[in-house]
Structure 1
Amino acid sequence: MSEELKQAILRYTGKHKQAEGVTVRPVQGLSLVQRAAPSELEHTVVSPLVCLVLQGRKRVAMDSGVSSYAAGDTMIVTGNRPTASRISQASIAKPYLALALDLDPAVITELIVNAPEACPPQVAPDTREDLRDALRRLVLLLDRPESLAVLKDGLIREIHHWLLLGRQGPAIRCLGLPDSHVRRIARAVAILRADHAQPVQIERLAAAAGMSRSAFHQHFRAITSLSPLQFQKHLRLIEARRLILSKGKNMSQVAFEVGYESASQFSREYTRMYGQPPIRDKQAASGLLAAVGAGG
């Protein structure tokens, strides 16, 4: 991997991060990660993105199985997917370094409509080096804000172009087609993300997707690997853990805030997902932070 790119990420994250392991987001949609130690298992529901690992190693479990990503590997996610991941290889001498860019359906639509060359050929070319070079140039501009303001949109467009031409081009292309099942389900997912604490209204979600109730259920599970209720549960528990670990709120307060009517049900489902009850999980996280602080 480009040493220039690694040094740029080390420099930028070192200057701007507020705590170890916190992702820095210098521009909308772009995330830079530096971590000097392996992480605990983290649950999330990822949006469509491209992630390039520059140093270290990360293991990611999705519906398709468990994958390991090392320096030079690229992960492309083309739908909203529940994942469990952990940084498995990182140290002070060689921290884990990665960058990720959210895929923008509007940019994909513009490329499909106005740039016929963005349509992938039958045999997809290897565009990995072109993609990495465009990502490198975007990151290098972070220290030149005047130039970044002028060139950022063009570079993001170029990155999407190389992705469309690559092996996952057909799946990425679906993100930009207004009437594709992926794009329709994405509208329902946006509602679930915004209103995860509210009861699920399948009729509202199906209407947003422009589908019948039965077709909506079928396509939602095919695209996200979960039912709408399971998807909402993931969102609620992910937000609950964030509130417990970062905000210091008590368990009952968190349960009701994320939409549970029963604190006992919340505790059961939290334990099922994270392997231990909320209180014990908070104590374990606090102990880890204290150990890291003592070691520093």
Structure 2
Amino acid sequence: MPILVTRAPAKINLTLHVLGRRAGDGYHELESLVAFTGAGDTLSLTPGADLALTVSGPTAGPAGPLDDNLVIRAARHLAARRPGLRLGAFHLVKRLPVAAGIGGGSSDAAAALRLLGRSNGLDPADPVLLEAARATGADVPVCLDPRARMMRGAGETLGPVLDMAPLPAVLINPGVPVETAPVFRALGLAAGQRHRPEPHPAIPDGADGAAVLSLIRPARNDLEAPARGLAPVIDATLRALAAQAGCRLARMSGSGATVFGLFADRRSAVLAARHIRADHPGWWVKPTLLR
């Protein structure tokens, strides 16, 4: 069978409301409008009997031990649920920053499940893929079909795909990894405690860019404040975006430290990225479309 290849795009939390912390399992209950970018990693699979992973690319170094990589963990979860599953050798080209709040590892894991599904003739809607995704990590289910939608609960509840107009954007990561767990701890919620349970704005299917922006502008990312306390450089990245011509909204994604700016048009986003790179050559800066 030929080598199978797929992209693992970055996930951006356009909004991230923390409703509270569940009493039963201690997970934080979220509502988040998620979109995906043109920037991402690339994963390939050479089908075979044995499971293996190699990693290359500009951010391969911080990707962590291969045996604990989410690609391997996802494959093992799927194999445990589908006896006789044909596995194989994965190769991951890692371009996204690690521990960056853009779901890089989760998107890689979802890409592994998609490739194993194709290799084994599984229907993309086969429930076993979603089961394996949920077992692998909270953000993996939404990355299985990387298109804009609402994500709720601890990531296990997915809304329908939203046919939103593409949003011109610039992503910035200042090169400072921010682990998710300390950010949630800094939020300071006890099990069973409610946080800010105001309803999330409803995003209609087919909304154009102006409508999406007007709806999400009064929304928020509740992890932004605790993340900024742990990584003050996030303030500098937000200021750099907000100062650019055509920037309509600057906000942090996920638990940080990546931030995004939404722009009036693609040209404005490209020019803004060029200016920010010139001023901050050590930052990871990408103009893209969110969809």
Q: TM-score higher than 0.5 here?
A: no
Q: Which has the higher helix share?
A: 1
Q: Which has the higher strand share?
A: 2
Higher alpha-carbon Rg: 1
Of the two structures, which has the highest relative contact order with CA contacts closer than 8 Å and spacing of 6 or more? 2
TM-score, length-scaled by structure 2:
0.31
